[in-house]
Structure 1
Amino acid sequence: MHRYRLIQTSSLAALAAGASLGLAAPAAAQSGPSTPSQESTALDDVVVTGFRAQAAAAIEAKRDVPQISDSVAADEIARLPDFNLAEALSRVPGVSTVQDNGEDRFVAIRGMNGEYNYSTIDGFALPSTDEATRKLLLDIVPSTVVRRVDVVKSFTADLDGQAIGGRIDLVTRSAFDRNGDGFFAGNASIGYWENDHQGPDRVKPSANLSAAYSTRFGPQDQFGFVTSGTYWRSDRYTVSPTVSGNRYDFYDASGKLLDSPLDPASNGMAVPQSNPIFLYHNVRERLGGTARLEYKPNDDLYAFLQGYYFQRTDTERRDETRVQRTSRTAAPTEQTPTSGLISSGVRAEAGTLEQEYDDQLRGVQLGVDWRPADGQKVSVRGGLARGSLDNPLFGSRFQSASTASLAYRYDMSGGFPVFTFVNPAYYLNPANYPSAYVSRETFITTQEDLAEFAVDYDSNADNRDGFGFQAGFKARQLKREHDEDYVEYRPVSGARFRLSDVLLDHAYTPPGYTVPQWFIDLDKSRAYLAEHPEQFSLWSGGAANSTNSDYRIEETVLAGYALATYRTDRLTLNGGIRVEQTRTESENLGVVEDVAVNKGDYVDVLPRAQLTYDFDPQLRLRAAYSRSVGRPNFDDLRPSTQTREDAGVISISGGNPELKPRVADNYDLTLEYYLPERRGMLAVGVFHKNIQDEIFSQSTLETVNIDGVDMTLLRSIPMNARSASLTGLEFGAILPSLDFLGGPMRHFGLTANFALIDSDASVPNVETASVRKYYPGDSRAVYGLFEQPRAVGNVSLTFNLGRFDSRLAYNYRGRRVTEVNTTPWFDRLFDAQETWDLQARYDVTDAVQITAQVKNLTDSYAKEVNAYEDLYYTRREAGRSFWLGVSFRL
């Protein structure tokens, strides 16, 4: 239903634009595209600003680049339409995002998650600060420090091979933009989140500050300097009611526990194993800036030196309450399809942890463009960058005995389990909760260093008709080190430490419970450990985790390419080949003797070709073929395993140094129509990707008995899948103004896009009898590629009247898989999600503007479900936010 609503809304945009084809008079051939960096745009000699300027700049950027590409651009107040880059990019055709506690964080292009993308800043590679993957955490980079973000979806030979989904290039400002006119722009706003009262910590107002400055100087204005900076802070709670591990039990009519819900004897009534509630309090701060010194004495020479620094700090408190079945052999009594009574074998737990994520990106870049002769260009680039993550964590947990005193009734009629205790007095007595561990401390550090050098030669660099040639060489070295220190103190026999010793006085009843949640004073936990060390011992497993998790990976890529181009007034053909040699070395730093080192060396030959044909000045056809690679994640390559135990779940995870890189053959075909007088753009495209050696993490789940207690054992290891492919359709329409419809419609603008994606992915089947009984064969199909929605789309309606400017934006993300399990009925998926945002601006003067916006207008949240019958797993409710601010430009 959601998908058809999206298609219907987008089709209205197509009809409106189609009407303009008949209404508009033919336009003369254009002399060439406008400079993509213009921050205000002329339409019929009328200068447009605000949201119309952003739309017009996106059109010009799409038309100007040789590849199939889409962009999101800043307006004349030097702002993108959203607070972080991931949110801004969610407006681009075929792009969806992955959220973390209500904020967009990772970007998926054409259904391919962030691991498939390659992120750059002005063409230089950006390091990742994600603990385990190559994904760039786009919420680190403030949206106000860039002029434009390009999403490149087809690949020519001069672009890096490491991109299957797409390339994201952050384009910073230049002092030579906008004909070299200097400016000083800034904005300040204050925000408020609805989720502000659930936990014991007080929530403070949120804020956003940013500024950008550009100037030229020197006798002939040959020098330029541009800088930008920003600070952003958010403070809010996120509520997450959950079903532990996505696990449900199923029984037959006699009450016997079954190994699969697909068993024909099943009574079809799902029983949740537990319903933990997580309450997150996140204070996120983001600051950053760029500075660029430029030299351009004439059109034949340009040089620049640029530096950037971005930091994101996320201070998180997570409070957890959990009620869990410890004995699942017998079926509940009084069972109905949505309810039942659990009368024995129940344990309750309460835990709190505090952690901080400190992510930093910094880099310096140097570049020179030289034109030694007419039509020739030599470019030299070099850069150093570092990404780092510090993640300290401290936690404390308490748990009751397994007892019939915690008997409860569950009710799933509202979509997720609600537990009601038969004897709530036992649950509500904190003295019934001895310590499981008084102190769990980890300190995780990750550092990634990048060094890059490139030289490129371009003949016919001015894009004139005839033949042209490009060739180049690039060397990139990446070094990543990951270190974990793990310490846990557990109580010894006779310890007297109880939840009642450290309980905070705060009342909050979360979703899924009819009694309040527990909150722990972690300062008192630390103090108790210091005062009573004899009651605790150091857990021996912590030392093994500290060493097995430490690794170093070094990756060197040497690349060369050659690209030939042929142009006429209508036709552009280019074809070339890129060759990349990749050398890897991974080492487990925790092994003292017989050091575990794995080395790899492989060569990828990547042919690429593209055709562009202009039927007339408005109608353009693009066709492209390319081969690209996706190298394995760093954590997947580590030659070690790690064991963790938390709340009755033992997790064993490890790397696989034998993983092969993904290799994809990409096919693209798009048709673009640019409305006369640059009043809009329509585009439709199809694409197909064949992916060999797709990588996925396969999880095995079983129940083990340790010291008389049933515990869940979860093993996870990355593997190469059999194969994967996806095919998709993209549609986009950008209409800065609907003036061709006449009357009041001239005040409105419309941007709409959607993508429909179908993937065919299979994974190796496991040998367990319970799975082979229902899924015979050596492989099985999964819902789709990891985090790949089958439908994504956006509709933005803008309104401009005099000094008033507004935008109502709708975003749709279809369901997508989040975990592939060895038991297929426990695969996990994000359900479809819709969000609405509203922004409004008013020009007080030509230089000052008041802004207001509501994020997540309808209080939407991401929900995960079970692959079997869409049983509820978890959701994260971040709530709405409201912002009021002022902007200026001098």
Structure 2
Amino acid sequence: MAIILPRRLIIHFCGYCFLIFLLFLCRQAGAQNHGVISGTLTDCADNSTLFAANVFVEGTTNGVSTDRDGRYRLTNLPPGKIVIVYSYLGYLDEKRELEVVAGQTVQQDVALCLDVVMTQEIVIRAQAMGQAAAINQQINSNTIVNVVSKEKIQELPDQNAAESVGRLAGVSIERNAGEGTKVVVRGLSPRFNSITVNGQRIPSTDEEDRSVDLSMISTDALEGIEVFKALKPEMDGDAVGGTINFVTKKAPEGRHGSIKAQSGYNDLESDYGQIRGSVNLSNRFLDNKLGLIVGGNFQRANRASDNLNGSYTNNGLDSEGEPLVRVNNLNLVDRVETRDRLGASLTVDYKLKNGDITFNGFWGQTRRDEIRRRRRYRANTARQEYDLRNREIDTRLFTGIVNGKHNLFNNIEFTWQVSQSQTKRNTPFSHTGEFRELGAFPNPDETSFETLANSARNDLEETFLKRSFFDESSVDDLNRTASANIKIPFRTGKVINGNVKFGGKIRDKERNRNVDRTSTSAFGANDIGAANPDLFDLTREGKIKISNFIGGYVAEDFLDGRFFMGPGGENVNGPGLDPALLNQFRLDFLDEHTKDASVDLSDYEAGETVSAGYFQAEVNLGKKLMVLSGVRLEHTENNYRSIFGTPVVDEGGNVNLTGLNDTTGTRSYTEILPMFHVRYKFNEWFDVRLAATKTLSRPNYFNLVPWERLNGFNQTIEQGQPNLKHTSVWNYDAFLSFYNKWGLFTVGGFYKELENIDYIRQSRNQAAGPTLGWDVTRPENSEFTTTVQGVELDLQANLRFLPKPLDGIVFSANYTFLKSETYFPLFLTSNSPDPPFLPIVNDTVRLGTLPGQANRIGNLAIGYERGGFSGRISMVFKGESLRVAEEEEENVGSLRVTVGKIAENDSFTDNNTRWDISLRQKINKKLSLLININNLTNEPDRAFRGSDLYPTQEEFFGWTADIGLKLSL
């Protein structure tokens, strides 16, 4: 019954929508006495289409905005002469007197020109046009949206789509090896965002959560980027931070093309092997009815980094009552990584008599080849360790979309879409070797990272191979989607007009994750040495020495000589561990690498079906007031399959599973999502926007899987939670916008209330049985309300009103203040004062900020264009944030607690400021010179614990530069 009832609700909802549709069909009988005017708006200089321009009948409120192809369609026009006004902020208005014919469509194309005195010196206008395009889309939208236009995308020196999104107000990005990967909108984790290509959801690329790695999407394939911060009923409801939509290019009229080729330099590695290129070709055929655009791109980048990170322990109080903090762990990491990014896109559109049909195919791929060498000073166990990891990661995205737009009865707009989108994240090769030196700290000095490193013994003669393990993993996520929408405009007199829109959508997901590991057992590497004394140099105890795996690699200038990678004594950065020698060891002793069955507990299969229907109405009362309201109904059905068992280590160190069982879980629920928007234009240069919307966030996949891992050696239990609730959120927005032909200034605030947000909770098992007193780690919903609030300031301006040569300046800046409050579940233990002095467990919570939510975010860009030259210097700033737990490489599929039990043990990322430069110079009409410099000041990523007195991470990536040519065909 729990499933039948929601389905009935959806059926009834669709029935009501169909009834409304029939009523409006009856109304169309009178519409035959009216006419239609349609056409396309373009830029008079380069014939590019103008998106979100205003087209309206003079003296009435009957108007529309142009679509992404610059097209407009005015309906319900009475026969006779009327005056149509065409306006686009930053451009000169145009008026046309036209004759409306009953039952017919009049075609009227119009070209608008920039509102500026044109001279021969002003040739390049890409920055100004890009700014105007973004401003027009934002101020003409019936919701709250930020935009990166196609012109700005081409001007920015960003490496991928994630970095371009990070230029917008309220948006920050997560980085890997210095390159943007995932997007944080308004302080909410990437899993709380919806990522789409042309409106269709991209499946997650992460092994456990719902986030998407955007580094595989090249900016060369994009027409624009939209970040919707307040949703409408017609949009997917599972977006709490926002919906990020990437729009791919579509063929304009005429034959066009471009070829871009660049070569670059990586300062950290002194590497000149950076290359990047793209090709785009487009044309229209059959009297412009058929459009075709194809594109491809390739990039190879060195993503090497030097990294140090560590941790501390509290050892009580000193003689003056201050906390006695000591270093217990220091890691030095040298990573050498090459990333290849490939992409291709194909768009075919065909114009029908009353509509069009479009196919869009998009493919993106990132291949990573990484060698990581790590040196670990572990004072808490008196060990020094070295490890070498060589791995390959392949992430792919393919999206295929067919959509249609049809005008019925000269008045009704019917749209439909079917799509299939798939992501794959494969790690076909990941080999790690771990080496250990026991008794490495005879007299450890734990005062600082430097003193701990200097007090190590560094005895390579007693440093031995601990184990070798090899991982293979894959995550496949497939979405199939179908949707249909009907939009019916209406007009009552000259004052009231608008439209109603309703439709339905179904999205079916298939997802599976598989991880395999083979490894030498806990003492297997030592046994191999004892059994083959003639093949290896051995320690006195018969263990395989690290010297058997040393090659010729040297980590030159590692951390500028502050610390040294070794292996061995002080002031040594090599020769280092050789991945070829380690891999040969694995191949020679494959029989000694046995399957680690415990990682199978992280395998799962998941299915998810989301059925949705919506109804929304937009009403314009005069030219000033717009009200949009409606409701969305989403029904979710989940099913999961996994296994659970207990890992047991035998005498040989082999890991086996006992009590192995298949387990399944299912869950279904329905959420009603009301949404309300108001826009009021006080005059032609000032408006206010208000929105109250309800959205949701579905739990991470791995958290829902009914898996369980019991570890008797550590007395721990890890388990999933198939009954985990989804998070429901109320979002409130208020924004003021001031604009004219010189730019836009926006100030706004938002407030979010999240119910049932989920966390990873660690507690103590108090149930009688063999696991009494064991630590339990599992996801749980919070009983408290989490709040997120912030203020966003955004300024975009051009200075064309200044005298020469200052009239070529284009300026943009935004700044966001963020604050969040959430309650972290935790448990505290103490001993009973009474015999038998049993432990007392106190389940409690503590207040904190959301992990990953920076307290401040800022962007600044100053551009200049004149006489064929275009230049831009830009800055990205991100303030402190509670650090998100990093990948737990040694225990595949483990759950991770992200914060300490007390605020003093919390780890934070530090403030970070990056500067970039982008330069363009036209050589002739078709050829341009390109120069980009990224991370100009070599800003590292830093983190600290509690306060900046206790640094926990410092990672350097160096600066990069590239130079190239762009040829317009």
Instruction: Tell me the TM-score normalised to structure 2 length.
Output: 0.77
1:183 and 2:256 matched: yes
Report the counterpart of residue 801 of structure 1 in structure 2.
866
Report the counterpart of residue 556 of structure 1 in structure 2.
609
Aligned mates of 1:609, 1:404 — CA distance in 2: 64
1:817 and 2:879 matched: no
Q: 1:777 to 1:446 in 2, by over 3 A?
A: closer
Whichever residue aligns with residue 748 of structure 1, its letter is I
SS of equivalent to 1:565: strand
Whichever residue aligns with residue 901 of structure 2, its letter is T
Deviation at 1:268, TM superposition (A): 2.6
Aligned mates of 1:876, 1:642 — CA distance in 2: 34
Aligned pairs for 1:333-372 (under 5 A) are: 346-372=382-408
Aligned mates of 1:644, 1:174 — CA distance in 2: 55
Aligned mates of 1:79, 1:230 — CA distance in 2: 17
Q: 1:404 to 1:831 in 2, by over 3 A?
A: closer
Aligned mates of 1:642, 1:390 — CA distance in 2: 24
Deviation at 1:765, TM superposition (A): 3.3
1:765 and 2:826 matched: yes
SS of equivalent to 1:615: strand
Structure 2 unmatched runs, 5+:
1-57, 71-87, 92-112, 531-541, 565-569, 646-658, 766-773, 832-838, 885-897
Q: Is the 8 A contact 1:685 1:730 kept in 2?
A: yes
Whichever residue aligns with residue 786 of structure 1, its letter is P
Q: 1:654 to 1:860 in 2, by over 3 A?
A: farther
Report the counterpart of residue 397 of structure 1 in structure 2.
434
Whichever residue aligns with residue 615 of structure 2, its letter is A
Q: 1:738 aligns with which of 799, 803, 806?
A: 799
Q: 1:865 to 1:492 in 2, by over 3 A?
A: same
Q: Is the 8 A contact 1:549 1:642 kept in 2?
A: no
Report the counterpart of residue 661 of structure 1 in structure 2.
726
- List per-residue Cα deviations over 1:288-308 (Å, max 9, x = no partner): 11101111134x211011211
Whichever residue aligns with residue 364 of structure 1, its letter is G
Q: 1:639 aligns with which of 702, 706, 713?
A: 706
Deviation at 1:791, TM superposition (A): 1.0
Whichever residue aligns with residue 459 of structure 1, its letter is I
Q: 1:715 to 1:845 in 2, by over 3 A?
A: farther
Q: Is the 8 A contact 1:700 1:822 kept in 2?
A: no
Report the counterpart of residue 718 of structure 1 in structure 2.
779
SS of equivalent to 2:439: coil
SS of equivalent to 1:858: coil
RCO higher in structure (CA 8 A, sep ≥6): 1
Which shows bigger deviation, 848-857 or 616-625?
616-625
Deviation at 1:714, TM superposition (A): 9.3
SS of equivalent to 1:739: coil
Report the counterpart of residue 379 of structure 2 in structure 1.
325
Report the counterpart of residue 51 of structure 1 in structure 2.
127
Q: 1:616 to 1:854 in 2, by over 3 A?
A: same
Report the counterpart of residue 310 of structure 1 in structure 2.
364
Deviation at 1:467, TM superposition (A): 4.2
Aligned mates of 2:716, 2:954 — CA distance in 1: 22
Q: 1:686 aligns with which of 721, 745, 749?
A: 749
Report the counterpart of residue 235 of structure 1 in structure 2.
302
Report the counterpart of residue 226 of structure 1 in structure 2.
293
Report the counterpart of residue 859 of structure 1 in structure 2.
938
Aligned pairs for 1:365-764 (under 5 A) are: 365-391=401-427, 392-405=429-442, 407-409=443-445, 412=448, 417-422=450-455, 426-427=457-458, 429-437=459-467, 439-460=468-489, 465-489=496-520, 490-493=524-527, 494=530, 495-508=542-555, 510=559, 511-513=562-564, 514-517=570-573, 519-531=576-588, 536=592, 538=594, 542-545=596-599, 547-567=600-620, 568-588=622-642, 594-641=661-708, 654-675=719-740, 678-698=741-761, 716-721=777-782, 722-735=784-797, 737-764=798-825
Whichever residue aligns with residue 44 of structure 1, its letter is D
1:143 and 2:143 matched: no
Q: Which has the larger radius of gyration?
A: 2
Count of residues in correspondence between the two structures:
794
Q: Is the 8 A contact 2:466 2:526 kept in 1?
A: no
Whichever residue aligns with residue 277 of structure 2, its letter is L
Instruction: Tell me the TM-score normalised to structure 1 length.
Output: 0.84
SS of equivalent to 1:162: coil
Q: Is the 8 A contact 1:700 1:821 kept in 2?
A: no
Q: Is the 8 A contact 2:785 2:822 kept in 1?
A: yes
Deviation at 1:578, TM superposition (A): 0.4
CA RMSD for the aligned pairs?
Answer: 3.2
Q: Is the 8 A contact 2:142 2:628 kept in 1?
A: no
Q: 1:411 to 1:194 in 2, by over 3 A?
A: farther
Deviation at 1:389, TM superposition (A): 0.8
Deviation at 1:699, TM superposition (A): 5.5
SS of equivalent to 1:52: helix
Report the counterpart of residue 122 of structure 1 in structure 2.
198
Whichever residue aligns with residue 526 of structure 1, its letter is N
Deviation at 1:141, TM superposition (A): 0.6
Deviation at 1:94, TM superposition (A): 0.8
Q: Is the 8 A contact 1:101 1:238 kept in 2?
A: yes
Q: 1:306 to 1:563 in 2, by over 3 A?
A: same
Identity %: 20
Aligned mates of 1:769, 1:746 — CA distance in 2: 70
1:112 and 2:188 matched: yes
Which shows bigger deviation, 97-106 or 799-808?
799-808
Q: 1:461 to 1:849 in 2, by over 3 A?
A: farther
Deviation at 1:174, TM superposition (A): 1.6
SS of equivalent to 2:350: strand
Deviation at 1:110, TM superposition (A): 1.2
Aligned mates of 2:410, 2:588 — CA distance in 1: 79
Whichever residue aligns with residue 844 of structure 1, its letter is I
Aligned mates of 1:221, 1:864 — CA distance in 2: 56
Q: 1:598 to 1:616 in 2, by over 3 A?
A: same
Q: 1:778 aligns with which of 834, 844, 855?
A: 844
Q: 1:533 to 1:78 in 2, by over 3 A?
A: closer
Aligned mates of 1:383, 1:192 — CA distance in 2: 40
Aligned mates of 1:187, 1:652 — CA distance in 2: 54
Aligned mates of 1:204, 1:653 — CA distance in 2: 47
SS of equivalent to 2:691: strand
Deviation at 1:241, TM superposition (A): 0.3
Deviation at 1:363, TM superposition (A): 2.0
Report the counterpart of residue 18 of structure 1 in structure 2.
none
- List per-residue Cα deviations over 1:739-798 (Å, max 9, x = no partner): 33445431211101111111111122313239xx9x99832101x112111211111111
Q: Is the 8 A contact 1:691 1:725 kept in 2?
A: yes
Q: 1:278 aligns with which of 329, 333, 346?
A: 333
Report the counterpart of residue 338 of structure 1 in structure 2.
none
Aligned mates of 1:76, 1:847 — CA distance in 2: 19
Q: 1:779 to 1:460 in 2, by over 3 A?
A: same
